[in-house]
Amino acid sequence: MTAETREKMNLQGVTDVYYGKVRDVYYFEDDLVVMAASNRISAFDVILPRPIPFKGAVLNKVAAKFLKATEDICPNWLLGTPAPHVAVGRRCNPFRVEMVIRGYLTGHAWRTYNSGERMLCGVRMPDGLKEHDRFPEPIITPAVKAEEGHDEDISREDLLARGIVPEAAYRQMEAYTRALFARGTEMAAEKGLILVDTKYEFGSYRGEVMLMDEVHTPDSSRYFYAEGYAERQKRGEAQKQLSKEFVREWLLDNGFSGKAGQTVPEMTPEKVKEISTRYIELYERITGETFDAASMHTDAPETLRRTEDFLKGLRRRA
C-alpha cells in the first residue's frame, strides 16, 4: 500500500520498470532512463500514508538545477526535464554505495559521537566537539545500499576489500564527492545557508564514472541557516535547519521511528498542507527562485506526451 495511487506511465519501448519508495524509473534498450519523482514521502525507510502536493516537482527541479550547476565538475546522468516531476537521462550501472559527506557533527554522526564512539566508517572524529560543530575538514562516511531496510555503514577499506566498487572508480567517486560538496557549500553560502551534509550516488556509463539521482535536494541534504549559527552554537541551542528533518522530528515526537509494531501518526489535511508548504519554502530558499505552483502541474496525458516527445527528439539527434 503506497501513499498514493501509483500513476504508471505507459511509455513506448520500456523494457523494465523499478518502483521505488518515492520514484518510479523506466528503462529502455537504448541506454535511456525516465525517472518520475512522485509526491510520496518516506521517512525511516517507510512510505507515509498521504502524498505531499508538489513534493515531486520540488525534488526534480532542485536536482536539475544542481546537476546543471555541477556538470563542469563531473559528468552526470541528466539530459532534460520534460515535465515538472519527470527527468530523462542516461542509464547508468549504479555502484551499490552512497557517498555520504559530512561537514558538521550532526545527525547520525552526532548520535555515534554522543554514544562515546569516535570512529565512523573508518574515519576518526576529533575529541572535544559538541553537536553541530564543524569538522576541521569534511569527512566521507560511505553506506552500502540495502535491497530492503537500512543502509549499512562501511569503511573505505572494507568497501574495497569486499569488491563492492573497483578501487579506481572509488577514488574517482571520492574526488568527485569532495568537489561537489565544495561547490554545494559555495552555492548554499550565496543563499545564506550552510550545507551540513549530503549524499551522492554514482554509476558507470560506458566505462565512465557518472553522477546519478538527485543532488543537494532537501531529501538528500541537510542545511543550516548561516545567520545566527555561531551564536546558537555558543549558547548551546538547536540549529535552525532547512531539510526533511522536520518530518522526522514530527514522527519522533509522535512515537514513530520506523520500528516494527509502531503506527504512523495521523496525517491530517492540515499536516499534509504544512509539509507541502515547507517543501515549497525549501525550494525557494535553496534555489532563490519563486515556486510557480500553476506551472508545476501537468495531468497524466500531458506528462506522457511531453516525455514521449522529448525521448523522440533525443533519438533523432542520436
> Which residues are within 8 A (CB) of 25 and not within 5 positions of it... i.e. 6 or more apart?
17, 18, 33, 34, 35, 36
List of domains in the chain = 14-92+269-313 (3.30.200.20), 95-242 (3.30.470.20)
> Which of 6-10, 28-32, 202-206, 290-294 shows the lowest per-residue confidence on average (mean pLDDT)?
6-10
Residue 4 pLDDT > 60, yes or no?
no
CA distances, 167 to each of 12, 100, 151, 174, 204 (Å): 38, 17, 21, 10, 13
Give the pTM.
0.90
Amino acid at 114: N
CA pair distance 181, 140, nearest whole angstrom: 10
As a whole number, mean pLDDT of residues 79-85 equals: 96
pLDDT at 150: 64
Q: Which residue has the higher pLDDT, 243 or 38?
A: 38
What is the tens place of the pLDDT at every residue in 184-194? 999 999 999 99
pLDDT at 6: 62
Query: Taking the mean position of all CA atoms in its chain, how far away is CA 91?
Result: 18
For residue 61, give the nearest of 308, 284, 312 by alpha carbon. 284
206: left (phi over 0), alpha (psi -120 to 50) or beta: left
Q: How far apart are the first and last CA of the chain?
A: 40
Strands 93-104 and 134-140: antiparallel
pLDDT at 5: 53
CA pair distance 286, 23, nearest whole angstrom: 21
Reduce the DSSP state of residue 14 to 3 states and report it: strand
Q: How confident is the model at residue 313 (pLDDT cuts 50, 70, 90)?
A: very high
Q: Which residue has the higher pLDDT, 181 or 282?
A: 181
What is the tens place of the pLDDT at every residue in 203-262? 999 999 999 989 999 889 999 999 999 999 999 999 998 888 889 889 999 999 999 899
